[in-house]
């Protein structure tokens, strides 16, 4: 006799963690996509001669470096994935909430490059990368929820 599954969490009800997608696998997908695009975009900008300099809040001059950009991205995705792994065990609704929160953070974080003294090209590039990170997080998580729901319906 096949094991019965808990009802899907559209209502936010408790489900078995085996019935939910893997937070770490989806976090790795987000990281692979966004880190690759970030690295390529920053390296192409540097090779094209784009000035990647800006004045920091303390008034000192700094340069956008691909390694620091990717490291910041890695830390952000790891923190988001750990949060998803913790709260996402509860329900599909929690996954959706974390997906929306990541999208919102990606959009709100555009304030940093918008408020910097970088040139318009660098500002546009950095804003685009912040938006890309938030949108990628959102799309990957919502897709995982939709695929899990579809898989659950086929198993019934």
Domain ranges of the chain: 21-151
pLDDT at 66 (0 to 100): 87
Is residue 42 classed as helix, strand or coil in its secondary structure? helix
pLDDT at 152 (0 to 100): 65
pLDDT at 48 (0 to 100): 93
Is residue 49 classed as helix, strand or coil in its secondary structure? coil
pLDDT at 156 (0 to 100): 61
SS3 percent helix, strand, coil of the chain, rounded to 5, is 70, 5, 25
The beta strands (E) that lie in the chain are given as 53-55, 61-63
pLDDT average per 10 residues of sequence, the chain (156 residues)? 36 49 93 96 92 81 87 95 90 93 97 88 94 98 89 65
pLDDT at 84 (0 to 100): 94
pTM value?
Answer: 0.81
């Amino acid at each position: 006799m096949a094991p019965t599954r808990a009802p899907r969490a559209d209502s936010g009800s408790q489900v078995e963690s085996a019935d939910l997608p893997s937070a770490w696998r989806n976090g790795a997908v987000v990281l692979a996509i966004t880190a690759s695009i970030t690295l390529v975009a920053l390296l192409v900008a540097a090779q094209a001669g784009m000035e990647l300099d800006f004045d920091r809040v303390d008034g000192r001059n700094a340069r956008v470096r691909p390694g620091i950009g990717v490291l910041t991205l890695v830390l952000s995705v790891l923190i988001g994935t750990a949060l998803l792994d913790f709260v996402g065990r509860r329900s599909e609704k929690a996954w959706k909430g974390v997906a929306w929160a990541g999208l919102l953070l990606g959009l709100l974080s555009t304030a940093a490059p918008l408020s910097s003294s970088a040139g318009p090209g660098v500002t546009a590039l950095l804003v685009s990368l912040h938006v890309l990170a938030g949108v990628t997080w959102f799309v990957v998580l919502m897709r995982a929820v939709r695929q899990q729901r579809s898989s659950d319906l086929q198993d019934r």
